[in-house]
Chains A and B, each alone.
Chain A
Amino acid sequence: MFKWLHPLAKPETLYHFCGRLFPWLMLSAVGILLFGNLWGLLFAPQDYQQFDTVRIIYIHVPSALLSMSTYTMMAIAAFIALVWQVKVAQWSVLAIAPIGAVFTAISLLTGMAWGKPMWGTWWEWDARLTSQLILLFLYLGVIALYGAFSDRQTGGKVASLLAIIGIVNIPIIHFSVEWWNTLHQGASITKFDTPSVHPSMLWPLLISLLGFYLLMLALVCLRLRTAILENEQHRPWVRATLGGH
């Protein structure tokens, strides 16, 4: 696997690799996401307690899961960047951060729109909601810290350090519904047991989740390409690739 993985640490190879993957990821992401969401909106049944509001699940749960797995991905890249000093790992931390921040914002906003009719409040300072808000601030912190240094390398290192430290928040978010009394319901898919969601709702949910995943990977590919070009713009291969003279 490392024989296959190792050449991708070279910016030029990774740039072309991401470029080949991007169109496939983007097209399948849009198709699968729309298919999953429309299935959820049109064909999935109502919930016997939550009625039609349960249809928010097809965007709320995927965005919330993605906000956490995107963060984990960013923290792994940050670790690789700090320990092995891999340049492209450093750039990917900053390429990933804004994408994760948007997914986190979506999970919070859709949660609010679901909370108002079902819990009677837009917001409550409860464990799950608060720890998810902290996740948003961690993403914004990584972006802001990087921007706060005039030297890109120093900024990248400090931002990576914050990304790694912030990983403690991920298990806190996941287990918050068990450790504390919260308004938020417990896990029904990501538990070590058979999922307690009926297939008629589980399938559109899993398809929507796959759509969100592919979209995240597509956008990471795209932003990583931009980051590679920006950082390598003085190298001859960039000039050759972008049609220079």
Chain B
Amino acid sequence: MQFDSFSDFLAMGGYGFYIWLAYGLTYGLLIGLVVYCFWEIKAFHQHFRQKLARAARIKQYQEAEH
């Protein structure tokens, strides 16, 4: 371990601001990207299910008319 205490670790020898800025931006962007990729596939699933349900409803009405 390179640091004696937690506050020592946060201070990073006086360069804490720059190091935590870099790590904060990196993890912020990475987490954002991962969430976006999961959201994309989930949104498609939802859209696809709605489309199937709509097609099924239309078919049902058409059959009822005849």
Interface residues of A (CB under 8 A from B): 37, 41-46, 51-53, 55-56, 59-60, 63, 98-99, 102, 105-106, 109-110, 113-114, 116-117, 215, 219, 222-223, 225-226, 229-230, 233, 238-239, 242, 244-245
Contacts and interface: CB of A to CB of B under 8 A. Distances in A.
Interface of B: 1-3, 9, 12-15, 18-19, 21-23, 25-26, 29-30, 32-34, 36-38, 40-41, 44-45, 48-49, 51-52, 56
B52 A244 contact: yes
B26 to A, nearest CB: 5
7 tightest Cβ-Cβ pairs between the two chains A and B: A113-B22, A52-B12, A52-B13, A110-B22, A226-B41, A59-B26, A113-B21
A55 B44 contact: no
A106 B52 CA distance: 40
Contact of A56 (B19, B33, B40): B19
The prevalent SS among residues of B at the interface is: helix
Contacts of B41: 222, 225-226, 229
Given A222-B37, A229-B41, 16 more contacts: A41-B9, A52-B12, A52-B15, A53-B19, A56-B18, A102-B29, A102-B32, A106-B25, A110-B22, A116-B18, A215-B30, A223-B40, A225-B41, A233-B48, A239-B52, A242-B49
17 contacts: A42-B1, A42-B2, A42-B9, A51-B14, A52-B13, A53-B15, A56-B22, A110-B25, A113-B19, A117-B15, A117-B18, A215-B30, A222-B37, A226-B37, A226-B40, A226-B44, A242-B49
A195 to B, nearest CB: 21
A44 to B, nearest CB: 7
B34 A219 contact: yes
Given A43-B2, A222-B37, A233-B48, A114 B18 contact: yes
A42 B22 contact: no
B48 A51 contact: no
Nearest to A33: B30
Contacts of A56: 18-19, 22-23
A233 B12 CA distance: 52
